[in-house]
C-alpha cells in the first residue's frame, strides 16, 4: 500500500481504506450513521448547534517538505476544533473534503487521516464522512459541528473598560514558520509547534462559563484577530507587551533572523490560542492571562494599539 498512488488505488479504494481506518476509532454515541452512506446521521442534544468550515491549500497553508502527512492532519483538525472552542463550544463531528493529484502516494492520504483522527480524539470528536476528488494540488476542506451548552460567545460583545485576555501559546508557530522559511529545522520546539499546534481546548468553555463577552481563535495573528473583535464590537483594544514573557526559542530565532521576537507574538497565528474579553471584575479562569484593555472607539484613531501607540509591524496573515 505504501507505494500505491491515488490513481492506482482509485477513488473507491481510497474511501474504503479511509472507512476501515475510521471504523477502528470510537465514533461516539451521538453518531448514528458514520462514513459509508450519502450522509451522516447525528443525534443532537440540548444546547446550540455550532458549525464552521476551513480550507487548507497546498503551497498556501502547508508544504509537504515542511510537514509530513500526519502533521498536516493534526493541523487541519486543530484549526477547525479551535473555531468551535472560540465560541465556547465543543466539537463533536467533522467531515473532510479531500482533493489531490492522482500521482500522490495513497499512503499520504491515510497518514493524513490518522493524524486528523488523533487530533479529533483529544476532544472526543469523530470523523463522520466526507468526499474525495482529483486536483492539481492537495486541497482539504473541513467542516466541524458541535454544540454549546451555554450561550455562544461572539466577537461582537466587547465593552469599554473590559479586560483583554489570552489562553494558550502565542508566537511559537510563527517562529517555527520563520525557521522553516530560512531552510532550517531548529529550534525544534518552534518547528514542532508549527507542525502540530496545541490549542487550549478546555479554555473556550471555561471562558464562556466565566462570563467572557467576546472571543476569537487566534489563527491569523494576535493583532489581526484583536482587530476583528474591535471592529465587530465597535471598540478599541490596547495590547500591552509587558504582559508577555517571550520564550527563549523565540529570542534565539529573533537574534538569528534579525527580527524582533515580539513580532512573532503580536503578528503570529497558527498556534490557535484564544483571545477574549471579560468584565473588569471577572475572575479569569485558569490558563488565561490578562494582556490588555478595551476602550471607547475613536472616530479617527486605530482600533488596535500596542502599549497605547499605533503599531507599524505586521498584524498577521492575509489571504489575498
Is 225 annotated as ligand-binding?
Answer: no
Task: Look up the CATH number of domain 163-306.
Answer: 3.90.650.10
Is 238 annotated as ligand-binding?
Answer: no
pLDDT reported for residue 300: 84
pLDDT reported for residue 4: 83
Model pTM score? 0.87
Is 172 annotated as ligand-binding?
Answer: no
- Which grid cell sits at 89? 463550544
Burial of 5 from C-beta contacts in 10 A (0-12 / 13-18 / 19+): middle
DSSP letters spanning 39-96: S-EE---SSEEEEEEEEEEBTTTB-TTTS-HHHHHHHHHHHHHHHHHTTT-EEEEEEE
Is 271 annotated as ligand-binding?
Answer: no
- Which grid cell sits at 208? 464562556
Is 48 annotated as ligand-binding?
Answer: no
pLDDT reported for residue 292: 98
Report helix angle 11-23 to 106-121, nearest 10: 30
Domain positions in the chain: 6-148, 163-306
Total Cβ atoms within 10 A of residue 316: 21
Is 108 annotated as ligand-binding?
Answer: no
pLDDT reported for residue 27: 60
Is 185 annotated as ligand-binding?
Answer: no
Architecture of the 6-148 domain = 2-Layer Sandwich (3.30)
Is 135 annotated as ligand-binding?
Answer: no
* Mean pLDDT by groups of 10 residues along the chain of 320 residues: 79 75 67 58 70 91 96 97 92 95 96 96 92 96 90 92 98 95 91 96 96 95 94 96 96 92 94 97 96 94 93 76
pLDDT reported for residue 291: 98
Is 300 annotated as ligand-binding?
Answer: no
Radius of gyration of the chain (CA): 20
Is 287 annotated as ligand-binding?
Answer: no
Is 61 annotated as ligand-binding?
Answer: yes
Burial of 64 from C-beta contacts in 10 A (0-12 / 13-18 / 19+): middle
Amino acid at each position: 500500500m505504501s507505494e500505491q498512488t491515488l490513481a492506482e488505488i482509485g477513488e473507491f479504494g481510497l474511501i474504503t481504506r479511509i472507512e476501515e481506518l475510521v471504523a477502528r476509532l470510537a465514533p461516539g454515541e451521538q453518531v448514528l450513521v458514520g462514513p459509508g452512506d450519502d450522509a451522516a446521521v447525528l443525534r443532537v442534544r440540548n444546547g446550540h448547534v455550532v458549525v464552521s468550515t476551513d480550507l487548507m491549500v497546498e503551497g498556501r497553508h502547508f508544504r509537504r517538505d515542511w510537514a509530513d502527512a500526519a502533521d498536516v492532519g493534526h493541523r487541519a483538525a486543530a484549526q477547525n476544533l479551535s473555531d468551535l472552542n472560540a465560541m465556547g463550544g465543543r466539537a463533536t463531528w467533522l467531515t473532510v473534503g479531500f482533493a489531490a493529484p492522482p500521482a500522490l502516494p495513497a499512503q499520504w492520504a491515510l497518514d493524513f487521516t490518522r493524524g486528523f483522527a488523533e487530533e479529533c480524539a483529544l476532544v472526543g470528536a469523530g470523523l463522520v464522512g466526507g468526499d474525495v476528488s482529483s486536483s492539481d494540488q492537495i486541497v482539504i476542506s473541513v467542516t466541524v459541528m458541535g454544540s454549546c451548552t451555554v450561550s455562544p460567545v461572539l466577537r461582537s460583545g466587547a465593552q469599554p473598560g473590559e479586560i483583554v485576555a489570552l489562553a494558550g501559546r502565542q508566537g511559537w508557530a510563527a517562529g517555527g514558520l520563520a525557521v522553516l522559511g530560512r531552510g532550517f529545522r531548529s529550534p525544534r520546539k518552534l518547528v514542532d509547534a508549527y507542525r502540530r499546534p496545541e490549542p487550549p481546548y478546555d479554555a473556550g468553555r471555561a471562558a464562556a462559563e466565566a462570563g467572557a463577552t467576546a472571543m476569537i481563535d487566534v489563527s491569523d495573528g494576535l493583532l489581526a484577530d484583536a482587530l476583528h473583535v474591535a471592529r465587530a464590537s465597535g471598540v478599541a483594544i490596547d495590547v500591552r507587551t509587558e504582559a508577555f514573557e517571550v520564550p527563549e526559542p523565540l529570542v534565539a530565532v529573533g537574534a538569528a533572523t534579525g527580527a524582533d521576537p515580539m513580532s512573532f507574538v503580536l503578528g503570529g497565528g497558527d498556534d490557535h490560542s484564544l483571545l477574549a474579553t471579560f468584565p473588569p471584575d471577572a475572575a479569569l479562569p485558569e490558563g488565561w492571562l490578562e494582556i490588555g484593555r478595551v476602550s471607547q472607539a475613536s472616530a479617527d484613531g486605530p482600533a488596535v494599539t500596542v502599549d497605547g501607540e499605533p503599531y507599524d509591524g505586521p498584524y498577521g496573515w492575509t489571504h489575498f
